[in-house]
Structure 1
Amino acid sequence: MRAHLVVGGGEHAPTVTGRVAAGTSLRPTVRSHRAGEGTDPVLEAIEHHLDRLLDALDLPSPVVADLVGRLLPPELPTLLRLARSLDQAESDDHELVAEVDLEVARVLDLPQRVARAFAAFVPVVARWEVLVAPEGVGALPAPEPPVLAALREGADLLERLDAAIADPEVTAVHLAAPAGPVGAARRADAEVLLALMGRTLTAVHPDGGSGVENLPVSPAADLPSLERRGEEWLLHIDLPGVRAADLDLVRHDDELVLGCAGRTRRVLLPSVLRRCDIERAGVAGGVLTLTMTPDERVWPRG
């Protein structure tokens, strides 16, 4: 299965979507529409419980706004429909051509962020009586059973959507942005966010043009992503087009937070490196290389 996502919000996006659909293989093509009918069951369950919970907790308005923004961004219904469309296309062995009528940065960035927010909320709901409302303390409503299932399903759907977008073997990303500065800004956002995923744009479709401007594809690195050299481990992460001066790198527990041009992405360290320290980091040829050594506090020598 290969999915083709037309993003960018340009007026010519429907034309591009039709052109991409016409150029796909002879297998049936599924078209995703801008508007969906009904409410996704994941969204319905979480919204219902969140309203009850926030009313009972009587939290300050800024806290409520932050929580709702993380769990229920306005783009969530579209992203859930897209995730389900991808699953259905894979199940049916169809190709998916989807015009995604959202800001390109939100399409590329939100699935990971919301999936993590859902996943972080799962243990809170699962252990509600221990962590939030012990028996006899107040009268907070207990989460309804469908809420936990909805959080888990939503996290799984969005994680798979994020992985599909990040994989050029699965998803082609076609940019059909407006002309002028807005389109240029959206292209820059797409290039940065995809670079942090280790890939480039598949194609840019010029406004009013019948052709496709193919972007240069970075050659695949010959180095393995993880290798052992003596007592050191080398971790290689593709960041096509990113220079060392433009990259921000922070380690947070078992994750790396990669930043460039105001955009960020989290990368989970391989399990063998989670008890190692970063000794050196460098970027060359669009590849970030981390040199890591075992933490002597957890890997005693001799």
Structure 2
Amino acid sequence: MTRVLLVTGLPGAGRTTVAAATAVAAARAGRRTLLLAADGTRDVDTVLDVSVGADPVDVLPGLTVQRVAVRAEFEREFLLVQGRLGAALGVVGVDPLDPEEITVPPGAGDVLALRVLARAVDSRRHELIVVDLPAAERAVPALAVPEGLARYVDRLLPVERQAARALRPVLAAVAGVPMPDDWVYDTARRVAAELEVLRALVAAPTTTVRLVVRPGTVALAAARRAASALSLYGHRIEDVIVNGVGAADSPDPAVRARAEVARETVDALCALFPRVPLAQIPVLTAEPLGASELADVAVHFGPVGPGGAADDDGHTIERDGERLLLLLPLPGTDRDDLDLLRRGDELVITIGPHRRLIRLPSALRRCLIEGAGLRDGVLRVRFVPDPAVWMRASQ
């Protein structure tokens, strides 16, 4: 199966440089590699000194580079939907838009990049795909879109309602109201299937994240927020790269001071990610450009591994006497930003601007929440058997 590495991090931390260096090193090691530029910039062109477009281009033996053509992707999908709505638009007197009138809404490009990634994975031409994502504050919400939208589609047109279209003439006669046309169900089914492909791709154990940060107090605080959000959505962090670590033995006092800040940042990140490899890229005398210089950068961090083990969205369940504990690692989470509630068979977890609904396993659905706590970067939710449910089950 194709290995996917998502490279994100903090603004100005050198994400594109690390992504390109990772791809160059992998190709030189003999892995068929695709570098997918999905950050909405042309920085990859500058770093690799090549012209990259929507069509894949081979820049080195074993290395292909491609850019996400956001406008073309959005226009294709918009025109498809508009074509299906053609008759309805004519009824209400709305003229369809011409391609040159279509503009891409903010944020759409980040989500459309996942569709391009899915096609690249499906092609099976590459052993490794390195994705140069935007900063984490943009990348994390985009990665969460397939799961969130799938929930909305299911609520609007659930499987039971789609099955009812076979009885549409009877229902329309009985209810006295028109039923949705076939294209509504067909579109919903197509969207749901595509969202499931994207969700599975993002959640796959072969998809991991390489987080790139720079030394500093502000950067460390941002790294904590990024770690918290990534963990909430179950993303596996492959490693953390600290870019721009100064020399502690420099004769220049200013350099030594920056090196001390870097050391404190590294120590804090090691505590934040105790089981995640952490690599350091020193302060370079010049900006690395071209494949040779990027390969020199890649020696400071390890190659892309095989991927993580499959798990249940990052959470585990343990037994504590009669209680059941749901454990969810949330490194970097501030207790004041955390909110938790149960809604039916789902656990709703909110951390700042991020929210995720986790479907409870069958054993926990028959339990009540006794309490919860955040300790050492792990959310522990305590469940006790619901007497009413368990008594009915035992009768």
Q: Same fold (TM over 0.5)?
A: yes
Equivalent of 1:287 in 354, 378, 389? 378
Paired residues of 1:42 and 1:150 also in contact (CA < 8 A)? no
Paired residues of 1:111 and 1:161 also in contact (CA < 8 A)? no
Deviation, structure 1 residue 293 = 1.7
Paired residues of 1:277 and 1:293 also in contact (CA < 8 A)? yes
Cα 1:113–1:242 shift into 2, 3 Å:
same
Cα 1:286–1:180 shift into 2, 3 Å:
closer
1:142 is matched with which residue? 181
Cα 1:93–1:105 shift into 2, 3 Å:
closer
Paired residues of 1:122 and 1:151 also in contact (CA < 8 A)? no
Alignment pair present for 1:197 and 2:242: no
Cα 1:127–1:190 shift into 2, 3 Å:
same
Counterpart code for 1:150 = R
Q: Secondary structure at the match of 1:218?
A: coil
Cα 1:46–1:268 shift into 2, 3 Å:
farther
1:65 is matched with which residue? none
Deviation, structure 1 residue 277 = 0.8
Structure-to-structure mapping, 1:41-80, within 5 angstroms? 43=77, 47-48=81-82, 51=85, 74-75=108-109, 76-80=111-115
Q: Which has the larger radius of gyration?
A: 2
Q: CA RMSD in A?
A: 4.3
Counterpart code for 1:20 = T
Q: Distance in 2 between matches of 1:240 and 1:188?
A: 7
Counterpart code for 2:207 = V
Unaligned runs of 5+ in 2: 37-65, 93-105, 247-261, 277-314
2:24 is matched with which residue? 22
Percent identity between matched residues is 26
Q: Distance in 2 between matches of 1:149 and 1:128?
A: 14
Cα 1:2–1:187 shift into 2, 3 Å:
same
Cα 1:206–1:74 shift into 2, 3 Å:
same
Cα 1:80–1:3 shift into 2, 3 Å:
same
1:219 is matched with which residue? 275
Q: Distance in 1 between matches of 2:17 and 2:340?
A: 40
Q: How many residues align?
A: 276
Paired residues of 2:15 and 2:132 also in contact (CA < 8 A)? yes
Question: What TM-score, normalized to structure 2?
Answer: 0.56
Unaligned runs of 5+ in 1: 59-71
Cα 1:51–1:10 shift into 2, 3 Å:
farther
Question: What TM-score, normalized to structure 1?
Answer: 0.70
Q: Distance in 1 between matches of 2:322 and 2:213?
A: 48
Deviation, structure 1 residue 94 = 0.6
Following TM superposition, where does structure 1 have runs of at least 4 consecutive aligned residues deviating by more than 6 angstroms?
A: 183-186
Q: Secondary structure at the match of 2:108?
A: coil
1:173 is matched with which residue? 210
